[in-house]
Amino acid sequence: MTPGFSFRIEKIDPGCRARRSVLHTPHGAIELPAFMPVGTQATVKGLEIDQVRATGTQIVLANTYHLALRPGPEVVRDLGGLHRFMGWDGPILTDSGGFQLVSLAQRTKVTEQAAVFQSHIDGRTIELSPERAIEIQADLGSDIAMVLDHVVPLPSPADVVRDATERTIRWAQRCRRSARGDGQALFAIVQGGLDGDLRARCAEELAKMPFDGYAVGGLSVGETPEEMVRTLDLTVPAMPTDRPRYLMGVGRPEDLLEAIRRGIDMFDCVLPTRNGRNAMAFTKEGRMNLRNHKYERDDRPIDDGCPCVACRRSRAYLRHLFMAKEMLGPVLLSIHNITYYQRLLTDARTAITEGRFEKFSNDKIGAWRDMGRHSEAIGVDS
């Protein structure tokens, strides 16, 4: 691996492929499996960095495309890099901007040379080539940089998926050649849509290069949960076993556990903070919509046993904040949801260490499904 980085598998669960491991970086060790809150523009939306740290978060994610637009990578570089700029002393991973090929598809044209964006801020043209994506991430100074990949929505025609996958392989090689190798790890991204053979070929070609870690990209872009799980079943066995494996942009709690079961180590998703801003809490009782009238006089915390600051207040108070449109509501619920995710991953790591992840996962997912059916039966929000 890149100097300053090391990866060690400590335990593989005997009942499945779940792995307990440690990734060492220049800004600290990451206990895996791990969840990365999304700080697209060098901020986890609505939260001060000490609040993020208090959730148990070990590593955060920022975005190359958005930071290239503002304030610009040179500004971040000249101010001491992303860690100093945002006040975070732990590891940072930067996404290369490949997902924006889907999220900003109406403003994007892809050629073999680069992705050309029309800025959603001021309309100016931005060319993001594999080389430029690596240069920007080097200026940002993240611990882990991602290659630029070609992401397409699902479903897409087979020839479109194949063309994007082959381009992803070629772009990964260009990214690797451009990497400075000065203390920044580089992860490749496996594409291939829902085609298992194409996924396996992409993984095998990328493994030949090689990289410091490997991600599964191009999911959570329109496929069903069942299709996602089936794709992981076909993809993960083709990925190197001696490097971290990262599932990009997938974030329902049940999806995390299904992916861990199949050997995935790292995750990111906007779901906990986006849901938090919309009054939806993740709890051991299932999802809870705090705008629901039944919480108007509910004096209990969101989740018994949760140590977060939001759980020092009542459900009734939190509901009041949302109904009154007070900004504190989204802040507190975002803190709670990230804490929930970090506690879930901590429990998953413990279960792997103790050789009982399969039961842990089955019990959790089964309980969530039962609570979901109960909520539908009685006609209330969970």
Predicted pLDDT at 380: 39
Kindly state whether residues 205 and 334 are assigned to the same domain: no
Predicted pLDDT at 285: 84
Of all residues in the chain, what percent carry a pLDDT higher than 90? 86
Q: Is the pLDDT of residue 93 over 90?
A: yes
Predicted pLDDT at 382: 34
pTM, two decimal places: 0.95
Q: Is the pLDDT of residue 374 over 60?
A: no
**What DSSP line would sit under 220-237, residue for residue?**
SSS--HHHHHHHHHHHGG
Q: How many CB atoms lie within 10 A of CB 167?
A: 18
Kindly state whether residues 13 and 128 are assigned to the same domain: yes
Task: Look up 268 and say whether it is catalytic.
Answer: yes
Kindly state whether residues 252 and 178 are assigned to the same domain: yes
Q: Please compute the mean of the pLDDT values over residues 23-51 and round it to a whole number.
A: 98
Kindly state whether residues 221 and 347 are assigned to the same domain: no
Position 309 in a domain = yes
Predicted pLDDT at 123: 85
Position 61 in a domain = yes
CATH, residue 215? 3.20.20.105
Contact call for residues 23 and 7 (beta carbons, < 8 A): yes
Q: Is the pLDDT of residue 198 over 80?
A: yes
Q: Is the pLDDT of residue 375 over 60?
A: no
Kindly state whether residues 249 and 364 are assigned to the same domain: no
20, 199, 265, 279, 280 from 214: Cα distances, Å = 17, 12, 10, 34, 32
Q: Which helix (H) or strand (E) holds 215?
A: strand 213-216
Poorest-pLDDT segment among 41-50, 176-185, 188-197, 256-265 = 176-185
Q: Please compute the mean of the pLDDT values over residues 179-192 and round it to a whole number.
A: 93
Q: Please compute the mean of the pLDDT values over residues 240-268 and round it to a whole number.
A: 97
Position 107 in a domain = yes
Q: Which residue in 149, 212, 265, 268 is the catalytic one?
A: 268
Q: Is the pLDDT of residue 304 over 60?
A: yes
**What DSSP line would sit under 140-187, residue for residue?**
HT-SEEE-------SS--HHHHHHHHHHHHHHHHHHHHH---SS-EEE
Q: Please compute the mean of the pLDDT values over residues 100-118 and round it to a whole number.
A: 84
Kindly state whether residues 264 and 284 are assigned to the same domain: no
Kindly state whether residues 111 and 226 are assigned to the same domain: yes
Position 263 in a domain = yes
310 against 382, higher pLDDT: 310
Q: Is the pLDDT of residue 181 over 90?
A: no
Kindly state whether residues 97 and 79 are assigned to the same domain: yes
Of all residues in the chain, what percent carry a pLDDT higher than 70? 97
Show which of 240, 269, 298 is a domain's final residue. Answer: 269
Kindly state whether residues 209 and 241 are assigned to the same domain: yes
Predicted pLDDT at 279: 98
Predicted pLDDT at 15: 95
Kindly state whether residues 130 and 242 are assigned to the same domain: yes
Q: Is 14 helix (H, G, I), strand (E, B) or coil?
A: coil
Kindly state whether residues 283 and 321 are assigned to the same domain: yes
Position 103 in a domain = yes
Show which of 269, 300, 315 is a domain's final residue. Answer: 269
Q: Please compute the mean of the pLDDT values over residues 156-165 and round it to a whole number.
A: 96
Show which of 251, 269, 287 is a domain's final residue. Answer: 269
Residue 373: pLDDT band by 50, 70, 90 thresholds? low
Average pLDDT, the chain: 94
Predicted pLDDT at 156: 93
Q: Please compute the mean of the pLDDT values over residues 225-234 and round it to a whole number.
A: 96
197's CB contacts (< 8 A; 6+ apart) are: none
Please tell me what DSSP assigns to residue 313: S
Q: Which residue in 13, 95, 212, 265 is the catalytic one?
A: 95
Position 132 in a domain = yes
Position 46 in a domain = yes
State which residues form the domain around 255: 8-269
Kindly state whether residues 14 and 101 are assigned to the same domain: yes
| Total tally of structural domains belonging to the chain | 2
| Buried b / exposed e along 320-329 (16+ C-beta atoms within 10 A) | bbbeeeeeeb
Position 172 in a domain = yes
